Amino acid sequence: MSKLKQSSPESPARPFQYTSTNGPLSCGAHSLVDLAGQHQTPLYVYSADQIAERLGLFQQALANRPHLVCYAVKANSALAILKLLADHGAGFDIVSGGELARVQAAAPEAIGRVVFSGAGKSAEEIDQALEAGILAFNVESEAELALLASRAARRKRKARFSLRVNPDVFAETHPYISTGLREHKFGIDIRQARRIYQEAAGNRWLSAHGVSVHIGSQIRSAEPFGAAVTRVARLVRELAKDGIRLKTVDAGGGLGIDYHLELTEGFDAQAKIAEYAAAVEAALAGLDVTLLLEPGRFLVAQAGALLARVLYVKRNGKKTFVVTDAAMNDLIRPALYQAFHQIVPVIPRPGKAVPVDIVGPVCETGDFFAHDRKFQPVQPGDLIAILDAGAYGMAQSSNYNTRPRPAEVLVSGSSARLIRRRETVADLLAPEIV
């Protein structure tokens, strides 16, 4: 495994910085003006160096316990990013057969480091994962466990499973991405888990491999993670008394970032990960298990930005609108979650910042990136960068309004390479039949 540079408290949160007082915003050694000129806009740009560094910080924080960091593929499923992470020792947390196919295409050697989560696995997806030889299924219902057993028996392949238990732990986050309470669709009531493990012990095609928990996303306090894993550890000890010895505890993902940090503000990623790891490790004290983690956002969000070009600056009464060539189909988080993203000009112009709405060209009032945001003067043709877009940006993009999706570029040291070409309208029409 390569030796990775560690963050310090003085490190900026993002790899996107101005090279000089009058210089353009850059990612590492590469000017975003140059990248936009070469690949056009909208354009996603990612820093491979920061992604690898963040993974290394998790691995270093957990060095005293057997562990596997399983990257949550849903955050950003670019094949080049999956290969980058696999090359640095990561496993993968998938939630669909399509994501499994992505891991198989990008890093077939990592299939044995894949866990399959998700509340609605189909028989076809289970078959696909059994055939591939993944590490384990994170099972979310008794019906799913029965289906897994029947598919495993049909293929005469023993299926390793972990029950995803619901610990009924509240995590302060957006209600759409909270998953740890009893009323959510995810997981199995932890009070029922012991019985289910006992019943599954009699099935020759099922192997109780571990237990899994995931309480939500964008959680910035370590305390809820510790509370959830404490309840899971109690279950592991109870099962050991029944003769069921689990090998892994999957603590899930969900560690959040601060989207409100100014561009130049420092961020101690190492301390944040250490706090999280300490809370989980304290809950597992005395247990001889391998710890699985499923970070997604924390690895890739701040490593990515969406570049857009200003089309128009429009004034309606007292309102000023900056209309860009990027839209909600390219980055839906503000429309879907009312999410905040820092937005900066790629080349700042002098002048007083004034409140503006930064919007896209899609025919929806919800097509916006910022409302009443104080922003420096911009003119048509200027470039802006929407920061912290590396997670749930391209992954949630669509072709709404028949808009081709953006290209993606991965910056690593002195190189910057295209990892996904821009879609064309011909690509969008190809599957259709008149």
pLDDT of residue 175: 47
- Banded model confidence at residue 6, pLDDT cuts 50, 70, 90: very low
State how far the Cα of 354 lies from the Cα of 357, in Å rounded to an integer. 10
pLDDT over threshold 70, residue 2:
no
- Banded model confidence at residue 170, pLDDT cuts 50, 70, 90: low
- The percentage of the chain sitting over the pLDDT mark of 90, rounded to a whole number, equals 87
pLDDT of residue 277: 95
- Banded model confidence at residue 210, pLDDT cuts 50, 70, 90: very high
- Banded model confidence at residue 174, pLDDT cuts 50, 70, 90: very low
pLDDT of residue 168: 77
- Banded model confidence at residue 72, pLDDT cuts 50, 70, 90: very high
Q: Lowest mean pLDDT of 87-91, 160-164, 180-184, name the range.
A: 180-184
Q: Which residue did the predictor score with more confidence, 150 or 186?
A: 150
pLDDT over threshold 80, residue 189:
yes
Tens-place pLDDT, residues 127-137: 999 999 999 99
pLDDT over threshold 50, residue 180:
no
pLDDT over threshold 70, residue 1:
no
- The percentage of the chain sitting over the pLDDT mark of 70, rounded to a whole number, equals 94
Structural domain spans, the chain: 17-29+33-44+302-429, 48-296
pLDDT of residue 264: 86
pLDDT of residue 3: 37
Residue range 196-219: mean pLDDT, rounded: 95
What residues act catalytically?
363
Contact of 101 with 125, CB cutoff 8 Å: no
Architecture of the CATH domain 48-296: Alpha-Beta Barrel (3.20)
pLDDT of residue 9: 45
CATH class for the region spanning 17-29+33-44+302-429: mainly beta
pLDDT over threshold 90, residue 12:
no
pLDDT over threshold 70, residue 181:
no
pLDDT averaged over the chain?
93
Cβ-based neighbours of 296, under 8 Å, separated by 6 or more: 71, 72, 73, 74, 75, 76, 93, 217, 253, 391
3-state secondary structure the chain: CCCCCCCCCCCECCCEEECCCCCCEEECCEEHHHHHHHHCCCEEEEEHHHHHHHHHHHHHHCCCCCEEEEEEHHHCCCHHHHHHHHHCCCEEEECCHHHHHHHHHHCHHHHHHEEECCCCCCHHHHHHHHHHCCCEEEECCHHHHHHHHHHHHHHCCCEEEEEEEECCCCCCCCHHHECCCCCCCCCEEHHHHHHHHHHHCCCCCEEEEEEECCCECCECCCHHHHHHHHHHHHHHHHHHHCCCCCCEEECCCCECCCCCCCCCCECCHHHHHHHHHHHHHHHCCCCCCEEEECCCHHHHCCCEEEEEEEEEEEEECCEEEEEECCCCCCCCHHHHHCCCCCEEECCCCCCCCEEEEEECCCCCCCCEEEEEEEECCCCCCCEEEEECCCCCCHHHCCCHHHCCCCEEEEEECCEEEEEECCCCHHHHHCCCCC
pLDDT of residue 173: 45
pLDDT of residue 179: 43
pLDDT of residue 111: 98
pLDDT of residue 4: 38
pTM here?
Answer: 0.93
pLDDT of residue 22: 84
Reply yes or no: is the peptide bond before residue 24 cis, omega within 30 of 0. no
